């Protein structure tokens, strides 16, 4: 096989790939992650690069304009190397690698931690015990391992935890080199000795909770001795280069080496976050002894390198709803090599561990009256129920509210336009952290649509009504200028296509909410609380979300922002055996409503495509 | 580093080794296993080779005669390559690789299997279940693993066995490719799914029992569905090239890469036996799902690659008395890659799993009256006790009765002199299988010493009394010609040194037997049975063994030959959960008497160095 060398500018990253390789694949090999919603099928037009030098073929695509072509700008996924190439990467095309932790702390992890502390007694997945062993003698010559068992009795551990061979092999020398003072790490049931260390390390026992989102991955570093969160960091899931949604990922996973590639990418993203957060808090990876992940079923399959292909094929069967505890090292997660990895289980192919975690974190599984959890991520999942029953559904909303698949979309990070008003014909924006605007996040889009509709710039179906000084024809059709660039900064717009995407997303979610109520026979007024989880965080304006018909019209005080409940539930499971036990009960109690087999869902969806809805009775307050 | 090539004749095996390597190490690399009692220290003089060509250095040693030196015969362990070498190997120097299975069947596995069948209900370490699963549908869309759990209920398995990730990853495709007909292999507690196979393989479930002796390794192939033995094979433990006894092996294990080397050698020996026996019975390795090993504590440590060095150092601490069940693949044993390896645990550093297995196989742990088990292998271990107590001791007898460390010694294989008489001044021998004599086995040595003593050729201390037509001066001093070679065959002799070795061995064993009685306060006449286990097999003449003072003088009918009880116990543990449970109870109940700290043991030993004993009161019948 002949190889060619591709050099990516401006960083001059070089990579050798087989002759004929596409530039997108080559860029991943060079550890450069380009935006690519469609997963490299030439459909989303996001992975544009400029060829500076060299021979190549590029397939024709409607996503490249004539002027771009003249400037040697092409889609990386449709351009193939015929020799060594020099390729320029545009900064705005690269997936942001890390989301500012400060913002995350403010926006995401609210309410829930306090709630958790009260609910779950601390009993972490892995626990350390310091032991001072008496030195053996002719009169006390029990084996090394029995000596450890005897000392563990001091901590009321009277069973004999198993030891695997790698650990057992190390014990004799560790005991003697440590002067018979050791720290033993046990699993939750004291059934296995995971780790034997020299000296007293019992004060340093840390764990990682991770929310494995389709688009975003968030980790928290937790002190396992007291359950406190030391810090959190997040980053884009670098799998995103192979598509925005789970279906695109599953299709990619079905290709040769596809599963291995996606597995590797998500593991690398998690490892990078762990390394970073550990470094920032001066904690060595060896003192991290366990990790709990919550994610949707596709993410869980990919993370654990389990074939996800049957998830997308009727009758939609996961290989398993729950996964065994395993050594983190077994799937390549870099914490202590004897550290344990545990996954929060899910109820169905499209209601995964992230939702179980959400039910766990909100505590709705133990309430007398029904509550609702709405988790708006790349998919929208909704759970309704109380201590006796739980009913859930999944709406393929798409990642528009996460800022992906929309032209100038972004996550809720610094510089994201989160608020928008039109006053006296003038637009007024505010950004997170009051930084220079760099895109629009989910809550921003809701306010923009609400304001455009209120001001008659778009009609009930979301179409631009006519001419306006801020609307124009852009490269993707009609668009409204949300922010006019100043030369250094670019224009930020919302396009007709964006609006259609956003309305489809809100319609899918609203219709799903409605179906759950209808199926359960619960009335709006009987719902105690609606927990809003997911990327919106604190920024969502409930009134405006109701005004566009994303959320149902019920008293504002019933809405509670709970932030990243997937992360919060993962944390609960990490620090509390009780929470892990409850997670299994939640899965058992949860009934999955498959919307794709519900005829009335499509009708509901079509009705909800309008602002706020075709059936205005449901939004009587707005009508007024 | 410079390498040289060594070619071993007559097989022309070639190997490249660093310049300066010794020939013994090179021969092992070439898969040639030379006898070497001392483990390559130049002390036993057994690893003689002839250098045909090439440059070398050889250290001076008293083990090489002048005429040998002239003939270019040297010790392999003390001869170092200074260039490419041509080396001739003498056939008699090579460790026999396999012991004829027929002999093994006749000599070793007697009485016990029948006894086992009655005692232990069949509940193997690994069990197979055939499942016909209903195909999933939209109305029956539980996960793949739940579908398996549901089907297992048919077999009254109502818990959910765990699945490890490698197995879980394979399940979705296996189910669909097998048309939903699968065979599931579970562990003894139904707590883990080890294996999921397409179709019905439940009729083909086999296991291996293995006796890991210091000198000899024996395997049996067992049908796990009915507990029947399909066949047995044995071979020399190829670790023997690094020394005859456990102490020499431990010292070698302490060298750099020593533990890895010894581990590799014992695993290779076992793998070779398994491959051979499976092939001979047309069984694929994939259908072997579990293996149970019993061996002394040093063998267990080496097999599991656990540092044995603390076993030989006061206060003689094993890393563990019992070892966890593990994947056989984890230690390199080649059966089904998901197959389970289990080790019979031991009571102390010098009373290992082989003795636990012996107590298990003889059933002495449940008897009302005390019984004694004498296992004469490379070490001599003795257990005394009944259902309430067990007392054990270990005597470092050395491997003389196993035919090692004595000039013309051999195992009880075809051609071994097993019986010897002097009638009217003429010697009369018989060999196993009536084949041409090729050496003397343990039972043969006992008869020879008994006859030499009865005829006054040796005195009570074992010394040759004077001239005799059959005694002469050999290269190792005085020797008695047991068999006169006919030109094609060589002379077979017993030397003064051999006799001293054998008397030391019998003294060590007898003194240990006596100490156990004294410590427990049990009288000879109250012992119900004495089980004789180990290499002697059926061939031992009890009367003569008493006459030389190896065995105590009690009625002959109390002696029972039980053959290889280590193997029989390993088999019991393989096929019966009950037996595995009892093995732990035996370990708990067994008290170890450390003879090295017993002052009177040395006195007893010195007294027992004579034929039959200094204290003739103990052998009153013989006196007559």
Our CA-based measurement puts residue A254 at a distance from the nearest CA of chain B, in whole angstroms, of: 12
Q: How confident is the model at residue A144 (pLDDT cuts 50, 70, 90)?
A: very high
Highest-confidence segment of A406-410, A568-572, B343-347: B343-347
B516 pLDDT above the threshold of 70: yes
Rg of chain B over Cα atoms, rounded to whole angstroms, equals: 26
The answer to whether the predicted template modeling score (pTM) of the entire model surpasses 0.95 is: no
Place of tokens 């717009």: A493
A134 touches chain B (CB under 8 A): no
Half-sphere exposure in the Cβ direction for B268 (13 Å, CA) = 17
Q: Quick check: helix, strand or coil at residue B507?
A: helix
Could you report the per-residue pLDDT of A115-134, keeping only the tens digit for each?
555 678 899 999 999 999 99
Q: What is the mean pLDDT of chain A?
A: 90
- CB contacts < 8 A (A, B): 125
Q: Where in chain A is the domain with CATH 3.10.20.880?
A: 126-198
Put simply, whether A143 touches B (Cβ < 8 Å) is yes
Q: Do A146 and B305 touch (CB under 8 A)?
A: no
**Interface residue A168 vs chain B (CB under 8 A):** yes
CATH number for the domain formed by residue range(s) B3-93: 3.10.20.30
> Which pLDDT score is estimated for B118?
62
Residue A448 in tokens: 């923009």
Of the two residues B293 and A237, the one the predictor is more confident about is B293
- At residue A32, the pLDDT reads 85
| β-sheet with B471-474: strand ranges across | B471-474, B477-483, B492-495
Whether the ω angle into residue B10 lies within 30 degrees of 0, i.e. cis, is: yes
Rounded-to-integer distance, Cα A297 and Cα A312, Å: 11
Q: Which value does ipTM take for this structure? A: 0.84
pLDDT of A61 reads 85
**Considering only alpha carbons, which residue of chain B is nearest residue A308?**
B172
**Given this model, what pLDDT does residue B623 score?**
53
Q: Where are the alpha helices (DSSP H) in A459-495?
A: none
Across the interface, do B305 and A171 touch by the CB < 8 Å criterion? no
A594-604 pLDDT per residue, tens: 998 888 999 99
Q: How many residues does chain B have?
A: 624
- All residues of chain A having their beta carbon less than 8 Å from the beta carbon of residue B348 are 141
Asked if the model's pLDDT at residue B113 lies above 80, the reply is no
* Dihedral sign, Cα of residue A347, residue A351, residue A354, residue A357: negative
Alpha-carbon distance of B74 to B89, in angstroms, equals 11
Q: Can you tell me whether residue A23 is helix, strand or coil?
A: helix
The answer to whether B482 and B417 are in contact (CB under 8 A) is yes
User: Nearest residue on chain B to A331, judged by CA atoms?
Assistant: B165
Element (H, E) at B417: strand B416-423
Partner B contacted by A597 (CB < 8 A): yes
Residue A108: what pLDDT? 40
pLDDT at B108: 40
The label of the residue with tokens 């007294």 reads: B607
Interatomic CA distance for residues B335 and B288, integer angstroms: 6
- Cβ contacts of B298 on chain A, cutoff 8 Å: none
Optimal mutation site among B319, B324, B325, B356, interface A, most CBs of chain A within 10 A: B319
Nearest residue to B76 (alpha-carbon basis) of B66, B87, B68 = B87
Work out the average pLDDT over B573-589.
95
CA angle, A572 then B149 then A587, to 5°:
30
* Tokens encoding A355: 């939702």
* Residue range(s) of every CATH 3.30.420.480 domain in chain B: 108-118+208-343
Structure letter (DSSP) for residue A4: E
- The neighbour count for residue B455, using CB atoms within 10 Å, is 15
Q: pLDDT of A530-556, one tens digit each?
A: 998 886 666 788 899 999 999 998 899
pLDDT of residue B168: 94
Q: Do A167 and A193 meet the contact criterion of CB atoms below 8 Å apart?
A: yes
* Sequence-distant (≥ 6) Cβ neighbours of residue B539 within 8 angstroms: B107, B412, B418, B419, B432, B441, B442, B443
What are the pLDDT digits (tens) for A352-364?
Answer: 999 999 999 999 9
Cα atoms in the 13 Å half-sphere on the side-chain side of B408: 28
The DSSP output letter for A462 is S
**pLDDT confidence of A149, banded at 50, 70, 90?**
very high
The pLDDT score that the predictor gives to residue A224 is: 96
Query: SS3 for B179?
Result: coil
Instruction: For residues B473-501, give the mean pLDDT.
Output: 92
Rg (CA), chain A: 26
Q: For position B139, what pLDDT does the model report?
A: 87
CB atoms B144 and A318 under 8 Å: yes
Identify the CATH number of the domain defined by range B108-118+208-343: 3.30.420.480
pLDDT of B486: 87
B-chain CB neighbours of A331 within 8 Å are: 165
Percent of chain B with pLDDT over 70: 95
In this prediction, residue B403 has a pLDDT band, given cuts at 50, 70 and 90, of: confident
Edge-to-edge strand ranges of the sheet holding A477-483:
A471-474, A477-483, A492-495
Please identify among residues 333-372 of chain A the ones whose CB lies closer than 8 Å to any CB of chain B.
348
Closest-CA residue of A relative to B173 is A307
CA triplet A243, A246, A249: central angle to 5 degrees? Answer: 50
Q: Å from B122 to nearest chain A CA?
A: 25
Q: Which of A135, A137, A141, A180 to mutate to test the interface with B (most CBs of B within 10 A)?
A: A141
Q: Which of A234, A297, A299 is nearest to A266 (CA)?
A: A299
pLDDT digits (tens, 9 = 90+) for A241-279: 898 889 999 999 999 999 999 999 999 999 999 999 999
Range(s) of chain A covered by CATH 3.10.20.30: 3-93
Tokens of A351: 């209601």
Q: Write down the pLDDT at residue A215.
A: 85
**Pairwise CA distance, residues A352 & B542, whole Å:** 72
* Chain B stretch 250-309, residues whose beta carbon is closer than 8 A to a beta carbon of chain A: 304-307, 309
Q: What is the per-residue DSSP string for A269-313?
A: HHHHHHHHHHHHTT--GGGEEEEEEEE-HHHHHHHTT---GGGSS
CA nearest A41: which of A20, A16, A61? Answer: A61
Contacts of B352 (CB under 8 A, 6+ apart): B294, B295, B296, B297, B298, B299, B300, B346
Question: Rounded mean pLDDT of B149-160?
Answer: 95
Contact A145 B304 (CB under 8 A): no
Contacting residues of B for A323, CB less than 8 Å apart: 165, 168
For residue A109, name the pLDDT band (cuts at 50, 70, 90).
very low
Least confident among A396-405, B48-57, B455-464, B482-491: A396-405
Residues in chain A: 624
Indicate the pairing of strand B216-223 with strand A79-89: unpaired
Closest CA to B268 of B8, B28, B22: B28
Joined tokens for residue B187: 């562990």
Helix or strand or coil: residue A588? helix
A591 and B CB contact within 8 Å = no
User: Given phi > 0 = left and psi -120 to 50 = alpha, else beta, which region is B607?
Assistant: alpha
Architecture of domain A126-198 in this structure? Roll (3.10)
Judge whether residue B120 has pLDDT over 90. Answer: no
* Higher per-residue confidence, B30 vs A464: A464
- On the question of a cis peptide bond just before residue A612, with omega within 30 degrees of 0, the verdict is yes
Question: Are A326 and A341 spatial neighbours (Cβ–Cβ below 8 Å)?
Answer: yes
CB-based contact B173:B166 (threshold 8 Å): no
Place of tokens 């009367």: B543
Distance between CA B425 and CA B452 in Å, rounded?
Answer: 11
Written in H, E and C, the secondary structure of A125-193 is CEEEEEEECCCCECCECCCHHHHHHHHHHHHCCCCCCEECHHHHHHHHHHHHHCCCEEEEEEECCCCEE
Question: Per-residue confidence at A29, pLDDT binned at 50, 70, 90?
Answer: confident
Alpha-carbon separation of residue B271 from B212, B222, B227, B430 (angstroms):
12, 16, 21, 34
Per-residue pLDDT, A621: 62
CA B614 to chain centre: 33
Residue (of B515, B490, B482) closest to B594 by Cα position: B515
Give the SS3 label for residue A594: coil
Please check whether residue B332 touches A, CB under 8 A. no
> Within a 10 A sphere around the Cβ of A387, how many other Cβ atoms?
14
Tell me which of A62-71, A511-520, B31-40 is least confident.
B31-40
Q: Output the pLDDT for position B103.
A: 41
Peptide bond connecting A453 to the previous residue in cis, omega within 30 degrees of 0 = no
Tell me, yes or no, if B310 comes closer than 8 A to chain A by beta carbon: yes
* Cross-chain residue pair A320–B137, CB shorter than 8 Å: no
**SS3 state at A29:** helix
> Contact at 8 Å (CB) between B213 and B239?
no
Please state which of the ranges A88-97, A490-499, B420-429, B450-459 shows the lowest mean pLDDT.
A88-97
d(CA B337, CA B329): 6
Structure tokens that stand for A437 in this block:
């605007």
Taking CB atoms within 8 Å and a gap of at least 24, the contacts of B419-423 are: B419/B443, B419/B444, B419/B447, B419/B539, B419/B541, B420/B444, B420/B447, B420/B448, B420/B451, B420/B482, B421/B447, B421/B451, B422/B451, B422/B452, B422/B454, B422/B455, B422/B457
Residues contacting A203, CB < 8 A, separation 6+: A225
**What does the buried/exposed string (b/e) look like for A531-553 if buried means 16 or more CB atoms within 10 Å of the residue's CB?**
bbbbbbbebbbbebbbbbbbbbb
Q: What string of DSSP letters covers A81-135?
A: EEEEEEEEEPGGGBPP--B-HHHHHHHTS-SHHHHHHHHS--B-SEEEEEEEPPP
More confident residue, B617 or A170: A170
Task: Enumerate the residues of chain B whose CB falls inside 8 A of the CB of residue A165.
Answer: 304-306, 323-324, 326, 330-331
Q: Give the nearest chain A residue to B162 (CA atoms).
A: A324
């Amino acid at each position: 096989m002949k190889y060619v060398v591709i050099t990516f500018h401006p960083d001059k990253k070089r990579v050798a790939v087989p002759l004929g390789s596409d530039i997108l694949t080559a860029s991943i090999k060079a550890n450069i992650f380009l935006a690519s919603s469609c997963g490299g099928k030439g459909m989303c037009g996001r992975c544009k690069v400029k060829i500076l030098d060299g021979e190549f073929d590029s397939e024709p695509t409607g996503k490249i304009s004539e002027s771009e072509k003249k400037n040697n700008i092409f889609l990386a996924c449709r351009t193939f190397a015929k020799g060594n190439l020099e390729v320029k990467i545009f900064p705005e095309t690269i997936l942001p690698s890390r989301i500012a932790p400060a913002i995350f702390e403010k926006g995401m992890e609210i309410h829930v931690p306090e709630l958790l502390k009260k609910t779950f007694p601390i009993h972490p997945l892995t626990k350390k015990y310091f032991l001072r062993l008496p030195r053996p003698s002719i009169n006390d010559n029990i084996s090394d391992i029995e000596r450890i068992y005897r000392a563990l009795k001091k901590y009321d551990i009277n069973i004999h935890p198993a030891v695997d061979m790698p650990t057992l092999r190390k014990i004799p020398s560790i005991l003697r080199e440590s002067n018979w003072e050791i720290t033993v790490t046990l699993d939750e049931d004291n059934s296995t000795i995971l780790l034997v260390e020299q000296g007293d390390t019992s004060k340093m026992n840390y764990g990682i909770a991770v929310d494995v989102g389709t688009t975003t991955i968030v980790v928290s570093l937790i002190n396992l001795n007291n359950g406190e969160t030391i810090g959190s960091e997040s980053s884009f899931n670098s799998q995103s280069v192979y598509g925005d949604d789970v279906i695109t990922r599953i299709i990619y996973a079905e290709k040769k080496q596809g599963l291995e590639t996606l597995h590797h990418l998500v593991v690398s993203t998690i490892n990078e976050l762990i390394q970073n957060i550990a470094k920032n808090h001066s904690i060595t990876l060896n003192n991290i002894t366990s990790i709990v992940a919550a994610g949707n079923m596709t993410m869980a399959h990919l993370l654990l390198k389990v074939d996800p292909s049957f998830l997308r094929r009727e009758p939609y069967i996961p290989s398993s709803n729950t996964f065994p505890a395993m050594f983190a090292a077994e799937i390549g997660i870099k914490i202590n090599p004897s550290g344990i990895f545990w996954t929060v289980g899910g109820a169905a192919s499209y209601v995964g561990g992230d939702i179980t975690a959400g039910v766990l974190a909100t505590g709705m599984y133990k309430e007398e009256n029904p509550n609702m959890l709405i988790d708006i991520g790349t998919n929208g999942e909704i759970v309704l129920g109380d201590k006796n029953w739980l009913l859930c559904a999944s709406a393929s909303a798409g990642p528009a509210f996460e800022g992906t698949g929309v032209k100038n979309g972004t996550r809720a990070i610094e510089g994201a336009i989160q608020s928008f008003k039109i006053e006296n014909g003038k637009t007024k924006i505010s950004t997170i952290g009051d930084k220079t605007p760099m895109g629009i996040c989910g809550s921003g889009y809701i306010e923009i649509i609400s304001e455009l509709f209120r001001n008659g710039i778009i009609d009930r179906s979301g179409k631009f009504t006519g001419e306006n000084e801020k609307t124009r024809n852009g490269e993707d059709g009609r668009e409204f200028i949300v922010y006019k660039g100043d030369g250094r900064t670019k224009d930020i717009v919302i396009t007709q296509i964006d609006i259609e995407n956003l309305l489809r997303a809100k319609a899918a979610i609203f219709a799903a909410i409605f179906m759950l109520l209808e199926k359960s026979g619960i009335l709006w007024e009987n719902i105690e609380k609606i927990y809003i989880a997911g990327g919106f965080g604190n920024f969502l304006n409930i009134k405006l979300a109701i005004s566009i018909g994303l959320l149902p019209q019920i008293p504002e005080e019933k809405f509670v922002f709970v932030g990243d409940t997937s992360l919060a539930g993962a944390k609960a499971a990490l620090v509390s055996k009780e929470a892990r036990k409850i997670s299994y009960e939640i899965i058992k109690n949860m009934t999955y409503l498959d919307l794709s087999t519900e005829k009335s869902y499509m009708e509901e969806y079509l009705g909800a495509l309008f602002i706020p809805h075709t059936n205005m009775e449901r939004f009587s307050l707005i009508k007024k």
